[in-house]
Structure 1
């Protein structure tokens, strides 16, 4: 792993960035005394060298807790991203300087084409240098702050109105959970607190839209006793997400991978969850019915699997007046659901996590993930159909949340 092309390229980029950013550090500290400058330079290179060492040696730290390894790696990546953002401002300044230099060379010539003395060296902009350092430092600081948000569950309450919803189901309270990613958890009490928040909402039904684990079924060993506390009068229903199949794990054999998936299905059952595998169930109240359809992972993006079969799951539900679809990946909505199943009223998804990084304020939301996913968080409507994308209960990769908090969604139908 230390010698993989990814780590070598990343280390090389980090070193180049270090050298580039150091030129700016020298500029902005120019007015400081020699002793202060020496301390600044020493601190800068100490942090940079430690970051590079961590990057290469982290795979050897197998005996330290997984959470600590994840945080160390995230800090290193945060330092890299902070310097990268800062360097954008420095690059803008360098382009300005190069343009001025070129213009000076072209303008300061006599009629015979001989160069005459120009205005001299074009210095860097101290303002842009400080601005770049400020933006880079702010990004790094927010990533550090985000570590404290990974269990800061946000309850989002929305009311959805449908003209064809049977009267008996008006007022139905649905809690949607998604992307638990139990393999990333390190604080069982914090996770349990979120489960108790779900129960305090007194939902009629709980729907989980995939990615219970990161890779392996045994990630749930310590958390089954937490999530089996989830209960609702009409039941807890679940589906599989792309991570649940173990596709990102190096298995000794296909048989081992299959056994893991079977074990994970058993986990759902042991917790009292009804796992829907390309099938539907009919929910009934006062002799009125709605259909709940659940399919395996189906994505319109090539790098994610298409295990689901909506045609199979839908069959037999055609005559039901109102339908809810649980499908992990929101790209499924535009790719198949809307074009071919216009009578599916509500689709519930997850998958994107809102990238665990972004801005969400009343009337405005933004995340880099929106440049990959058209529907990436919250409610979307087209005609009579609605899609809700949950930003996830857990986390993976970066052990934190910045701006996009872990979500518990309470949906009330009317």
Structure 2
């Protein structure tokens, strides 16, 4: 049972970077879907590792090597427990979600996809969950099929059900859209694809930081996410895979660490999970990710869900009341996270983001690595604000004020 946690407004003290002035205004950081800030506990974990335990892992018998190995592998167990994997052998450390999805497509996909098979994705996918499947489909003479969206940006479940057939070998979907903020019904889709003896791959980059995730309850065959979007360091990510599937896969990278025996003409691989982790891993990154998970656990993921929901419920009516502002994604906060994409009539999103930065508000503008979605929405780009656990209703108010100020400047400022 999650312990009630109330003082979210006090969390900013844990994030020194947020206590600064940008363009003569207090910083309001709303680019969390791109990357989150790191609390002092994570920075301290990194510093402590480098000050006291810096050594290569798995290779040495001296004290520092054993200490580093112990900390690194304990981090794997922390991740396992956080996502409810059945064992640490199913938790592979990668560079991030992009690497994780590429591993699945290039190793598992290469193994199971044959000519005539179908790979099903949606129009809301990040490029990292599109391009690997495009390349695989081309190489294997398979067909890449897109799921349609409803008017408010959710998956059209009737379309999903109709398009999953006995030809569908892989469905790969985002758990939460990085543009629309929509939360997809992964378990329902998992049931449908497994009825057809296919496999489900999930991009969890925007889900794991914001809500409880149980990979076994979702019955995902593979699940990928990144540390830097959940308070952890950059350059560390996770690929979860069911043991039976990982054992069928061949490694993508070869070299030190992942081998068992190397002979002149042949080699054998280590057991899971190490057969996939060639070379010196991101040891500090793994330790920092574990520290980030401890921080999130202390708050409680259900509390984070509730906090973001309260902010979105608070801000949506204010945004809807501003004439000329178009919002993308579902209006029902039960179906979305704290990602809010928007446009202001007559103002390019890049100009919006630049003007808002002058107000101290950091938002993102562009296609958000989702060009097929922009085409689908008939938009060249959008501006995007993304809220996280350290954002407050005061930040939301500042965001609304910055939109109004931006609109006034561009539409009336030259008069």
The alignment's TM-score, normalised by the length of structure 2, stands at: 0.25
The alignment's TM-score, normalised by the length of structure 1, stands at: 0.25
Structure whose CA Rg is larger: 1
Higher relative contact order (CA 8 A, sep 6+): 2
